[in-house]
Chains A and B, each alone.
Chain A
Amino acid sequence: MSVAEADRDIEAPGKLARLFQRSEALRQYALLSPSILLLAFALTAPLALLILYSFWAQSGLELRHELTLEQYEAVLSEPFYRDLFLRSVGISALVTLVTVALAYPMAYFVAFRVKRRKFVWLVLLSIPFWTSYLLRVFAWKVILGFNGVINSGLMSLGVISQPLEFLLYNPTAVVITLAHTYAAFAILPIYVSLEKIDRSLLEAAADLGDGPVRRFLRVTLPLSLPGVLGAAVLIFVPTTGDYVTPTLVGGADGVMIANLIQVQFGRVNNWPLGAALALASMAAVGVLAVSVIQAIRLATARIK
């Protein structure tokens, strides 16, 4: 708005301007409109398309547009898909367990044992995760390989004479790699919920006679549970859909659902099936995550 324009409306402003002046909601939505446009275009429309595609079918080079349930029938009936899905979920569940279990003491340390410069520890803990995910997975490939770092290191130290074969190209490698790369998603939520615990509650418990172990079990652990559950969800849901890790370190045995989906959009060229697979597994993972959380919540609500 130039000075000239500003001078022009010294008299009462026009109708549109007055509407903006009066309605706060209108003003805020004007500011939000570019973001809403982006979301509509890049999020809502693509997801809608995805759902639509899952109800179509691909025959040869042609995409048939009549609505059909055949993709979902295939997805739900083929044992291959089901097994693959279960394996992915199994791997993710294991990853979640391991990651959370390893991260909890670390988060506890920073929340309770570090008095000054917590910020330094937090930054130190986050730096590895802001480096390229691709490179971190690749680093594990290099570490676990047949001629990789572990094997060559152990051999040159004389600990083993033959390289260990079980390290790479199997589900174990996938679990280790995913546990490492998703560690940050566990540490931060757990740390935040531990940090929020009112220290005077622990003092009160001590005052009432609880020793350190009991204090932990009765006060700290339950109060940090929301953070733990949050971390679990933050790890479980994305890892089921992970592509890079199974591709680089999983080998034939460590294939996960994302590999199958990607292939539909690659050489197999069956986009409708890929869409159905993606949506079905996403829905299944969502339902699974929600029900496990509810179950845990119900279970812990009973324990006082």
Chain B
Amino acid sequence: MSEFLELEAVTKRYDKVVAVDDVSLAIRRGEFFSLLGPSGCGKTTVLRMIGGFILPDRGRVLIDDQDVTDLPPNKRPTNTVFQSYAIFPHLNVRDNIAYGLRTERVPKTERDARVAQALAMIKLEHCAAKNAAQLSGGERQRVALARALVKRPKVLLLDEPLGALDKRLREAMQVELRQLQREVGITFVFVTHDQEEALSMSDRIAVMEKGKILQVADPKTLYEAPSSRAVASFIGTMNLFEGRVASVLGASVVVETRALGRIEAPRQEGAMLAAGNSVLVALRPESLSVSRAAQPSPSVLCRLISAAYFGDRSQMQVGVEGSATSVAVAVPSGAAVSEGLTAGETLHLSWRPDGVVLLPAH
């Protein structure tokens, strides 16, 4: 059983640098799939290999059971929204959108109808005759989208399309794109380095680093159950504590840590959890809390280093003995402890046991 869009052991090398290292992906039909990672991790190279702009040194690319590995971009059932939008400056909006339809020799009536439909979809009917170079960044981005979608590709490839937009516009576009994808039902492959963007829009995300895939999962799993330190620190903020497995008892694992003492964590499948193993205890800032009074749940003493106010919450950095780096704690606004804080103040740090994630030690 093959998936809709498959990459099989794809590798691409530039001189001595391996840009994409033995990457295999199976993307489902109609999925909003993101490639997430820092710059230089190979995500754009993977995208361009799906689009046909780069040919892999090894491996295959299959779309809907068709081996497209050797096909040039114009023969593939994919269309791309480029990072720079690549809007043709010598054509107006309508002719830009119609460009690919002209190539297919679509008859004029059908072409006009589809272009009108696309214009309505991106809400730029009033700009149809405007020269494309006179549009704003956000408008050009939408034209690029319409131009690609009007051809009804099997896969739409998006190369960091929202990177050049300001924050507010970007967030609005994220919502729009997600809705659009649901309406149209086309498989989207979306490249970004912004993990919030990926988390909010995607059905599944592939986290990449240095040409390799670290983990492929839905946003919730990635956030709550990252498979490695690299993924954990890339997605959101993650506090990491070194520890050693003390014992494994049925559904829970007991870990001995320097910073937090003895911790009980829910047992996760797959981890090598024999007693004596080194392990990393990972806790999100939201799974931690601080208070002035002692708590009944296990806690340790900490020292307040700083607090930053974010409107709906505060992010505090506390120092804990046994942890080299400061620990980030998210405190909702209105919590009693956030009033009248002084730097250096001693607080009690506690955590939710079900928020504890165990990661391999490397």
Q: Do chains A and B touch in the complex (CB under 8 A)?
A: yes
Residues of A at the B interface (CB closer than 8 Å) are 10, 12-13, 18, 21-22
Minimum C-beta distance from A129 to chain B (A): 33
Binds A, one of B28-36, B69-77, B218-226, B279-287: B69-77
- Residues of B with C-beta under 8 A to A10: 75
Q: Determine whether the beta carbon of B55 is less than 8 Å from that of A22.
A: yes
Q: Whole-angstrom distance between the alpha carbons of A18 and B75 in the complex?
A: 14
Q: What does the 1/0 interface line of B44-71 toward A look like (CB < 8 Å)? A: 0000000000010000000000000011
Residues of B at the A interface (CB closer than 8 Å) are 55, 70-72, 75
Write 10 A-B pairs (CB below 8 A) sorted by A numbering: A10-B75, A12-B70, A12-B71, A13-B70, A13-B72, A18-B70, A21-B55, A21-B70, A21-B72, A22-B55
- Residues of A with C-beta under 8 A to B71: 12
- Residues of B with C-beta under 8 A to A12: 70-71
Question: Of all chain A residues, which has the CB nearest B105?
Answer: A3
- Residues of A with C-beta under 8 A to B70: 12-13, 18, 21
- Residues of B with C-beta under 8 A to A13: 70, 72
- Residues of B with C-beta under 8 A to A21: 55, 70, 72
- Residues of B with C-beta under 8 A to A18: 70
Minimum C-beta distance from B216 to chain A (A): 29
Q: Whole-angstrom distance between the alpha carbons of A269 and B71 in the complex?
A: 63
Q: Whole-angstrom distance between the alpha carbons of A152 and B72 in the complex?
A: 75
Minimum C-beta distance from A3 to chain B (A): 8
Question: Of all chain A residues, which has the CB nearest B52?
Answer: A21
Minimum C-beta distance from A70 to chain B (A): 52
Q: Whole-angstrom distance between the alpha carbons of A10 and B75 in the complex?
A: 7
Minimum C-beta distance from B324 to chain A (A): 44
Question: Of all chain A residues, which has the CB nearest B75?
Answer: A10
- Residues of A with C-beta under 8 A to B75: 10
Minimum C-beta distance from A22 to chain B (A): 6
Q: Which 4 A-B pairs have the closest CB atoms?
A: A12-B70, A22-B55, A10-B75, A21-B55
Question: Of all chain B residues, which has the CB nearest A22?
Answer: B55
Q: Whole-angstrom distance between the alpha carbons of A13 and B74 in the complex?
A: 13
Given A12-B70, A12-B71, list of 8 further CB < 8 A pairs?
A10-B75, A13-B70, A13-B72, A18-B70, A21-B55, A21-B70, A21-B72, A22-B55
Q: Whole-angstrom distance between the alpha carbons of A13 and B71 in the complex?
A: 7
- Residues of A with C-beta under 8 A to B72: 13, 21
Minimum C-beta distance from B29 to chain A (A): 23
Question: Of all chain B residues, which has the CB nearest A18?
Answer: B70
Q: Whole-angstrom distance between the alpha carbons of A12 and B55 in the complex?
A: 13
Q: Whole-angstrom distance between the alpha carbons of A83 and B70 in the complex?
A: 68
Minimum C-beta distance from B234 to chain A (A): 32
- Residues of A with C-beta under 8 A to B55: 21-22
Question: Of all chain A residues, which has the CB nearest B71?
Answer: A12
- Residues of B with C-beta under 8 A to A22: 55
Question: Of all chain A residues, which has the CB nearest B69?
Answer: A12
Q: Whole-angstrom distance between the alpha carbons of A21 and B70 in the complex?
A: 9
Question: Of all chain B residues, which has the CB nearest A13?
Answer: B70
Among the interface residues A10, A12, A22, which one has the most CB atoms of the partner chain B within 10 A?
A: A12
Q: Whole-angstrom distance between the alpha carbons of A11 and B339 in the complex?
A: 70
Q: Whole-angstrom distance between the alpha carbons of A10 and B72 in the complex?
A: 10
